[in-house]
């Protein structure tokens, strides 16, 4: 998916008045290094994931592999750890939403997509439990570039 198309998907979600958080990071991750991006929500509200967009751009290597995990930190109800692992070419975009998940170039096995979608929809983050997007560098070289993460979510009030 070209970046322009990716951005139009984000814009479309915005028009639906979903909250969009840009948790992007320019990174340099050493071999075996792990980058964690954690999102903590509002107190007394549960944040429900609607869409998660991940885009990477930079010299992430053409050989070897890297893993991306999405999980609720410390609870471990997230996606199967290997859902995007061991793919030399993750491509440059993955998208998850209610109806479709795709990695338009090479990437994860389509057979995993149902699990991915249902797992995503189970995730709620709040003020004490984080949505964690984790990138693990399995390459034998340092990964350098931009790791762009957009999270679209809705809030549910929590009655105390």
Partner 1 sequence: MMAKRITDKDEKGYTRIKDGTGAEIGKIKHGARFPDFLKPSDVIVKPSGKEEEVLKVQYVEADDVYIVVSQSQEVK
Q: Which residues bind partner 1 (CB under 8 A)?
A: 19, 21, 23, 25, 29-30, 32-43, 47, 74, 127-128, 130, 136-137
Which of 1/68 has CB closer to partner 1? 68
User: Is residue 147 within 8 Å of residue 59, measured between CB atoms?
Assistant: no
Shortest distance in whole angstroms from residue 71 CB to partner 1:
13
Which of 66/101 has CB closer to partner 1? 66
Which of 22/80 has CB closer to partner 1? 22
Nearest CA to 149 among 20, 11, 32, 59?
Answer: 20
User: Is residue 155 within 8 Å of residue 42, measured between CB atoms?
Assistant: yes
CA–CA separation, 137 vs 60, rounded Å? 9
Shortest distance in whole angstroms from residue 93 CB to partner 1:
20
Which of 5/28 has CB closer to partner 1? 28
95-129 b/e (C-beta count within 10 Å ≥ 16 → b): bbbeeebbbeeebbeeebbeebbebbeebbbbeeb
Shortest distance in whole angstroms from residue 73 CB to partner 1:
9
CA–CA separation, 139 vs 33, rounded Å? 10
Q: Are strands 19-22 and 124-125 parallel, antiparallel or unpaired?
A: unpaired
Which of 9/23 has CB closer to partner 1? 23
55-64 b/e (C-beta count within 10 Å ≥ 16 → b): bbeeebbeee
Shortest distance in whole angstroms from residue 11 CB to partner 1:
17
Shortest distance in whole angstroms from residue 42 CB to partner 1:
4
């Amino acid at each position: 998916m070209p970046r322009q198309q990716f951005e139009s998907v984000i814009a479309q979600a915005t028009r639906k008045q979903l909250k969009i958080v840009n948790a992007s990071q320019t990174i340099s991750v050493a071999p075996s290094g792990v980058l964690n991006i954690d999102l903590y929500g509002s107190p007394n509200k549960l944040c429900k994931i609607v869409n998660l967009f991940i885009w990477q751009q930079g010299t992430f290597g053409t050989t070897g592999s890297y893993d991306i995990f999405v999980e609720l930190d410390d609870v471990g109800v997230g996606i199967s750890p290997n859902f995007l692992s061991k793919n030399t070419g993750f491509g440059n975009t993955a998208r998850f939403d209610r109806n479709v998940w795709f990695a338009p170039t090479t990437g994860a096995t389509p057979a995993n997509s149902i699990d991915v979608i249902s797992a995503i929809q189970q995730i709620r983050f709040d003020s004490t439990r984080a949505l964690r997007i984790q990138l693990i560098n399995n390459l034998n070289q340092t990964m350098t570039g931009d790791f762009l993460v957009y999270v679209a979510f809705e809030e549910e009030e929590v009655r105390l």
